[in-house]
A and B are shown apart, each in its own frame.
Chain A
């Protein structure tokens, strides 16, 4: 296994573990709150914490989707472009995506500095910095996932086969 493939697998495993844990956490929190509400003791932190976990699922899951190149896009036009234009378009697109997440991560770090000392409304002992740290962390993970999945994406783009191989694999996985 190459170093690149090993890194990709490690990130894949890490994100899978985090996403599974977050999904279980969301389910348990919602069910716990329903049970507590019926017994007249609805937890005050329920809405806030559940929404925060949804945000974490968004950014960890986005990095995972980037690793699989699963974000909603339109590859049809790239596939029919002449090869030289196709390579240029893919290169330009990748630069733009990475630049956006560099900017998002950077701004996320600036926001963290401003939030120093603040806590959540329902649970004041939970620092807002911890909660908002998902933005720079998520941006960094997205960039890493984008770079690790770039070689395969690049090869598919050069062959004019974007989206086709992945689609078949997804169906096979579902059928299994």
Chain B
């Protein structure tokens, strides 16, 4: 009963635009006062401090910083040129290039919003210039950017790993097959739409051109090899891999390509720190609520009441999928993970779902959530760049969302596909 009251207060506070992190803090203070009395209030400061010193989450600012360095140099331009040289001869080439570039970018960046801002600002105007409808240009860019959080590294996976106490490296490995498969399926959908509409090819295929584009982008392509190679090779942890990413991106941008725009880099680093802080404040205040929920055994009680209805793993997965899809429509992905994952984990383990498999399911769900209004961070950025109406873009985007939903269903019900690499390397 008290838990429902606290939830109602949180919803009410969110409705009047109190930041969710602060809303959680206010709810937790109320819970501490009611259950333990005012003498326990100093715990507020202690838990808010401890909650923000979550070591694995150190990878978030570092991956954002690495992405900022890439965006401040010519890496995206070089990757686009390479993709064009590879698939420019296919009908609807620019749309396919958009997906391809996002797949490359995803191997270095872990944020879909950063990806759509970096690639969309070049590719959406280019598509509009070649006669693609602006709603389509925004839709394909937005959906392709979702690959950033499925293909490693991935910031939502890092947050999930920290919240669920699951291996971040194994989560990264689990994302490889669905990320590549999803990317190819998005490309096929873009090609199908382009053929139906008779959209143009860009350039004739030439081995010479491809070779030059490859040489031009060689170091940009080498970046994911350094980052993912060092993490998957077991030389460094995910956090240290993120640090390596910063240094590698800096060396390539500043000394190989020599075109880092320093002012922009400093600004992006500060913005990155600010985005990290927004997530970390949520983590800290959720730790505060977590203390109360754990004391009251709320996650266990919730697990028991659902298990009383069904202990069928597949049915529980369906319920959790619907829950996360709905949450994704209204909540930022980080907030959804931080708020819900600790509460549902006892249920997940009770029905025998692998925490790494579940982390991948949550990530894809929230990736779809970034495409579905009213709260759709990635879609909004794409719409703003294209100057297109959100609902018109969503209508076109539905075809790509169906593809992502198909990926989600396969990942959920055929875990052997995403988990095969995890089993091969780690178990």
Contact = CB atoms under 8 A, between A and B. Distances in A.
Interface of A: 16, 19-20, 22-23, 26-27, 30-31, 33-34, 47, 50-52, 54-55, 57-62, 64-65, 68, 70-78, 89-90, 92-93, 96-97, 100-101, 103-104, 107-108, 110-111, 114, 132, 134-136, 162, 167-168, 171, 173-175
Nearest to A134: B49
B384 interface: yes
A91 B395 CA distance: 38
B164 to A, nearest CB: 19
25 contacts: A19-B270, A20-B273, A22-B273, A26-B58, A26-B62, A30-B242, A50-B239, A54-B58, A55-B53, A57-B273, A57-B280, A58-B284, A62-B277, A64-B273, A71-B19, A72-B19, A73-B20, A74-B17, A93-B16, A103-B29, A107-B42, A114-B42, A136-B45, A173-B267, A174-B117
A88 to B, nearest CB: 9
B311 interface: no
A110 B282 CA distance: 23
A65 B278 contact: yes
B330 interface: yes
B94 to A, nearest CB: 18
Contact of B17 (A52, A75, A107): A75
A30 B58 contact: yes
Contacts of B25: 100, 104
A34 B274 contact: no
* Secondary structure call for the A interface: helix
A50 B277 contact: no
A101 B21 CA distance: 12
Contact of B13 (A58, A96, A110, A167): A96
A93 to B, nearest CB: 4
Best-buried of A76, A101, A136, A174 by chain B (most CB within 10 Å)? A174
Best-buried of B45, B243, B332, B334 by chain A (most CB within 10 Å)? B45
Contacts of A89: 15-17
B247 A23 contact: no
Given A20-B269, A54-B52, A132-B49, A78 B17 contact: yes
A31 B243 contact: yes
A20 B239 contact: no
A163 to B, nearest CB: 9
B384 A34 contact: no
Nearest to B242: A30
Contacts of A101: 22
Contacts of B274: 19, 61, 64-65, 68, 70
A74 to B, nearest CB: 5
B246 A174 contact: no
